[in-house]
């Protein structure tokens, strides 16, 4: 790998392009400008398209008739680096240790999208052109639900007409093991707030005579699951399509040991999930209800004998085919209303949502991707679904009418969204080869 690749990658990583926090908005914009300039430097036409939120970078080569058009999608925004004290080195000052680059965004998604850019660069340098027509759409709002990208796709539907989309924002099942993901879970968010007394009260004077909102919320949240890890919201599973036999078979044969890897990576004392399903089935093919955060009452040092006035929790549900996010949120709201403890009021606000995605890894694009992965890694591709969500992928189908190839480069221990996020240079290099192989295979 060339020396200046690392320097450029570091420059990309130094932008704190945190999309969720308005105080970084300038940095997000500077990062977009940097990406766009890089794409111009390698010989593409590129522009930064403003949106009501963060801008979208849109670049392309000269399109020629008679060859396929490939849309490469990625994101330059990142998750917040917090909690900062858990990082071994500052999140926006990339460092290389034992072949791994540490920084927020090193994997998700800067490292992955940058390897595609370098792949394009090398091909253009070698052949003065790419083997296919290419559009790159690199957005700045993926980590906050891609609120403005759908409209961008609709507004530019004709200009973005393409044959297939390429996304490197998913995982590899193991080092040096190419992976084609053919499914993603969807996600739907709901915030609940339980309110009792009008102010925090003395728990000695009032405790026992009025409902404690923290207790009420705990009871309410506990109704989400039964003892076996099944979601207990009536109707929740009605639209769930069971896993196909070929998937269950082929997942069982994957060259990984999901349970022990998961134990090691998470540090949890044991695994737990919906009874009757394997770990991979639980994360790739079953829906979940998760509490992402909750708060109530006194959280400072020592004690405070208080009866809190309210309690809140942030929830998300991961969805699988054929569940509908709005319908699921409605079911949960009804369920909570029905199970409301007395003496408190309940407010529920639904948040962002994004659909699941499932495609056929054996169609002609999937086959091309599998050939390319084999070429780039010298190994057959593993075919998997993913537990994470990339909401815009279902819009590529709905708005542009095309399927998406998910050929990500993230490893289990890359720490995406966590402290000490990292990306092996080995994967940056593999990504460069993979980009070239995929475009060649898609060119036919």
Q: Which two tokens stand for residue 249?
A: 């078979």
Looking at beta carbons only, is 184 or 214 nearer to ligand BES? 184
Measured from the CB of residue 209, what is the shortest distance to Mn ion in angstroms?
A: 49
Question: Which residues between 397 and 416 bind ligand BES (CB under 6 A)?
Answer: none
By a kind-dependent CB cut-off of 5 to 8 A, residue 321 interacts, out of Mn ion, ligand BES, none, with none
Stretch that binds Mn ion, among 63-71, 104-112, 172-180, 349-357 (CB under 5 A): 104-112
Cis peptide bond N-terminal to 180, omega within 30: no
Measured from the CB of residue 27, what is the shortest distance to Mn ion in angstroms?
A: 18
Stretch that binds ligand BES, among 126-134, 157-165, 324-332, 382-390 (CB under 6 A): 382-390
Stretch that binds ligand BES, among 25-33, 49-57, 210-218, 389-397 (CB under 6 A): 389-397
Question: Which residues between 297 and 356 bind ligand BES (CB under 6 A)?
Answer: 352, 354
Measured from the CB of residue 224, what is the shortest distance to ligand BES in angstroms?
A: 19
Measured from the CB of residue 263, what is the shortest distance to ligand BES in angstroms?
A: 19
Pick from 80, 81, 21, 82: which is nearest to 54 by CA? 21
Pick from 426, 385, 16, 24: which is nearest to 171 by CA? 385
Looking at beta carbons only, is 54 or 310 nearer to ligand BES? 54
Measured from the CB of residue 386, what is the shortest distance to Mn ion in angstroms?
A: 11
Measured from the CB of residue 388, what is the shortest distance to ligand BES in angstroms?
A: 2
Chain centre distance of CA 55? 19
CA neighbours closer than 13 Å in the CB half-sphere of residue 71: 26
By CB under 5 A, the count of residues binding Mn ion is 3
Question: Which residues between 148 and 187 bind ligand BES (CB under 6 A)?
Answer: 169-171, 187
Q: Which two tokens stand for residue 401?
A: 């009418």
Q: Which residue's Cβ has the minimum distance to ligand BES?
A: 388
Measured from the CB of residue 91, what is the shortest distance to ligand BES in angstroms?
A: 16
Stretch that binds Mn ion, among 99-107, 161-169, 198-206, 249-257 (CB under 5 A): 161-169
361 scored as a contact of ligand BES (CB under 6 A): no
Measured from the CB of residue 251, what is the shortest distance to ligand BES in angstroms?
A: 15
Question: Which residues between 26 and 65 bind ligand BES (CB under 6 A)?
Answer: none
Residue with tokens 């169609």: 363
Question: Which residues between 281 and 340 bind Mn ion (CB under 5 A)?
Answer: none
145 scored as a contact of ligand BES (CB under 6 A): yes
Of 391, 414, 422, 432, the one binding ligand BES by CB under 6 A: 391
C-alpha to C-alpha distance for 96 and 101, rounded to whole angstroms: 4
Residue 394 main-chain phi, psi, to 5 deg: -70, -25
Measured from the CB of residue 143, what is the shortest distance to ligand BES in angstroms?
A: 6
Measured from the CB of residue 65, what is the shortest distance to Mn ion in angstroms?
A: 34
Contact, 275 vs 154, CB < 8 A? no
Question: Which residues between 60 and 119 bind ligand BES (CB under 6 A)?
Answer: 108
Of 169, 281, 395, 403, the one binding Mn ion by CB under 5 A: 169
Contact, 57 vs 389, CB < 8 A? no
Stretch that binds ligand BES, among 58-66, 139-147, 152-160, 297-305 (CB under 6 A): 139-147
Looking at beta carbons only, is 142 or 441 nearer to ligand BES? 142
C-alpha to C-alpha distance for 406 and 396, rounded to whole angstroms: 12
Cβ neighbours of residue 26 closer than 8 Å, sequence gap 6 or more: none
Looking at beta carbons only, is 390 or 411 nearer to ligand BES? 390
Looking at beta carbons only, is 17 or 109 nearer to Mn ion? 109
Angle, helices 110-127 vs 425-443, to 10°: value is 50
Q: Which residues sit at the interface with ligand BES, rule CB under 6 A?
A: 108, 142-143, 145, 169-171, 187, 352, 354, 386, 388-391
Q: Which residues sit at the interface with Mn ion, rule CB under 5 A?
A: 108-109, 169
């Amino acid at each position: 790998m060339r020396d200046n690749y690392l320097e450029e990658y570091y420059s990309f990583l130094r932008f704190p392009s945190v999309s969720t926090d308005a105080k970084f908005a300038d940095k997000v914009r500077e990062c977009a400008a940097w990406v766009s300039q890089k794409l111009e430097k390698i010989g593409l036409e590129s522009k930064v398209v403003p949106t009501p939120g963060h801008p979208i970078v849109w670049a392309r080569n000269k399109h020629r008739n008679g060859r396929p058009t490939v849309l490469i999608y990625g994101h330059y925004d990142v998750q917040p680096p917090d909690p900062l004290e858990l990082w071994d080195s500052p999140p926006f000052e990339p460092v290389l240790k034992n072949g791994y680059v540490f920084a927020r965004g090193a994997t998700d998604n800067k490292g992955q999208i940058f390897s595609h850019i370098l792949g394009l660069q090398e091909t253009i340098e070698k052949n003065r052109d790419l083997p296919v027509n290419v559009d790159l759409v690199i957005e700045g709002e993926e980590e906050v639900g891609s609120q403005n990208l759908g409209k961008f796709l609709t507004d530019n539907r004709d200009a973005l007409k393409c044959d297939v989309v390429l996304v490197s924002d998913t995982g590899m099942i193991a080092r040096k093991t190419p992976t084609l993901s053919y499914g993603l879970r969807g996600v739907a968010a709901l915030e609940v707030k339980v309110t009792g007394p009008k102010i925090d009260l003395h728990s000695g004077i009032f405790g026992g005579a009025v409902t404690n909102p923290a207790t009420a919320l705990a009871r309410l949240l506990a109704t989400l699951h039964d003892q076996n890890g099944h979601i207990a919201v009536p109707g929740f599973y009605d639209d769930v399509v069971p896993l196909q036999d070929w998937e269950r078979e082929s997942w069982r044969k994957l060259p990984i040991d999901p349970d022990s890897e998961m134990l090691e990576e998470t540090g949890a004392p044991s695994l737990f999930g919906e009874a009757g399903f394997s770990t991979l089935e639980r994360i790739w093919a079953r829906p979940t209800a998760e509490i992402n955060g909750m708060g109530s009452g006194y959280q400072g040092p020592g004690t405070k004998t208080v009866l809190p006035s309210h309690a809140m929790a942030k929830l998300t549900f991961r969805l699988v085919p054929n569940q509908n996010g709005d319908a699921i949120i409605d079911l949960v709201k009804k369920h909570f209303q029905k199970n409301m403890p007395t003496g408190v009021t309940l407010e529920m606000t639904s948040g962002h949502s994004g659909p699941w995605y499932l495609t056929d890894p054996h169609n002609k694009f999937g086959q091309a991707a599998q050939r390319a992965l084999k070429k780039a890694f010298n190994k057959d591709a593993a075919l998997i679904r993913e537990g994470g969500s990339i909401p815009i992928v279902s819009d590529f189908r709905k708005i542009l009418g095309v399927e998406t190839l998910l050929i990500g480069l993230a490893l289990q221990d890359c720490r995406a969204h966590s402290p000490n996020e990292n990306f092996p240079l080995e994967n940056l290099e593999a990504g460069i080869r993979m980009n070239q192989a995929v475009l060649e295979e898609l060119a036919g």
